[in-house]
Chains A and B, each alone.
Chain A
Amino acid sequence: MLFYVFGGLAIVSALGVIGQRNPIYSVLALVLMFASLAGLYVVLDAPFTAVTQIIIYAGAIMVLFLFVVMLLNNPLEGHSPYDRSHPLRRTAAGRMGGVLAVMLVAELAWGLSRMVGAGAPVAGDVAAGAVVSSVREIGVKIFTDYRFAFEATSILILVAMIGAVVLARREEATR
């Protein structure tokens, strides 16, 4: 039952993200979607992932987004000369994108409807009451089986940090 509450909340808030004209409201709706997904992770017996979702996504990434939205102080969509055309009355490329999105939904629905075992309950193979997702187990997994991916991730973070600083820096030499 909790699944339908959180799932419906996630869908409604995701629609809110792409339905708002003001980016601030989009960001806040996305925070709500992250919260409902964290609830789903708790239902799925993954409390570590739920907490990580709240801390990293809602706490760090969304604050970064909010900072940029407020820093740019961009006017609403539809006020600049580039915003004349309505999305449904655009050129062939725009219509092509819409067709591709509809096709994606249709294919996903078709594939899921034909999937064998879709009715099996989640955690069918797990004995009742067994805890499969202790933080200790996740930590052991990360630092043994996935140690290369972990190290590669640290390099990725370093590259992203330097890249962000270089990209967002003001060009002093050209002024």
Chain B
Amino acid sequence: MTPIGHYLILSAILFAIGTAGVFFRRNLITILLSIEIMLNAVNLTFVAFGRQIGAVDGQVIVFFVMTVAAAEAAVGLAIVIALFRHRESLNPEAFTSLKW
């Protein structure tokens, strides 16, 4: 069997990739996709630890995380559509009216 540490390292790498995407990309849709990558990295940790302790609780939590991700995607994409109507751009630097 693969050691649990390998799953955690894979999850950490995926989470760091998602974080880098949020920081470096300048497209709102890609930033939302990076957030999905981070949520999935956490899901992998939940399932691996749940398997480790032999309980299904980890998978139940993953189920709830998926639900929250679906809600987040729906609201986030609605906000993206509303923002795109205002500025005709998906670049976060186009929406700096509240910045001082």
List the interface of chain A (C-beta within 8 A of B): 3, 7, 10-11, 14-15, 17-18, 20, 23, 26-27, 30, 33-34, 37, 40-41, 43-46, 48-49, 52-53, 56-57, 60-61, 64-65, 68-69, 71-72, 74, 77, 80, 82-83, 87, 94, 97-98, 100-101, 104-105, 108-109, 112, 115, 117-126, 130, 132-133, 137-138, 141-142, 145-146, 149, 153, 156-157, 159-161, 163-165, 167-168, 170
With a cutoff of 8 Å between Cβ atoms, the chain B residues found around residue A49 in the complex are: 43, 47, 59, 62-63
Interchain CB contact (< 8 A) of A44 among B47, B73, B84: B47
Per the bound structure, the CA–CA distance linking A173 and B33 in Å amounts to 33
Per the bound structure, the CA–CA distance linking A167 and B80 in Å amounts to 9
A141 near B15: Cβ-Cβ < 8 Å: no
Per the bound structure, the CA–CA distance linking A18 and B6 in Å amounts to 23
Known: A37-B44, A167-B82. A64 touches B77 (CB 8 A): yes
A68 near B77: Cβ-Cβ < 8 Å: yes
A157 and chain B: residue at smallest CB distance = B71
B59 and chain A: residue at smallest CB distance = A49
Shortest Cβ distance from residue B78 to the other chain A in the assembled complex, whole angstroms: 4
Interchain CB contact (< 8 A) of B80 among A68, A77, A165: A68
Known: A14-B37, A27-B33. A46 touches B47 (CB 8 A): yes
Q: Which 4 residue pairs across A and B have the least CB separation, nearest first? A: A118-B5, A160-B71, A18-B21, A121-B1
Name the interface size band of chain B: 35 or more
Shortest Cβ distance from residue B68 to the other chain A in the assembled complex, whole angstroms: 7
B70 near A56: Cβ-Cβ < 8 Å: yes
Interchain CB contact (< 8 A) of A119 among B5, B20, B21, B85: B5
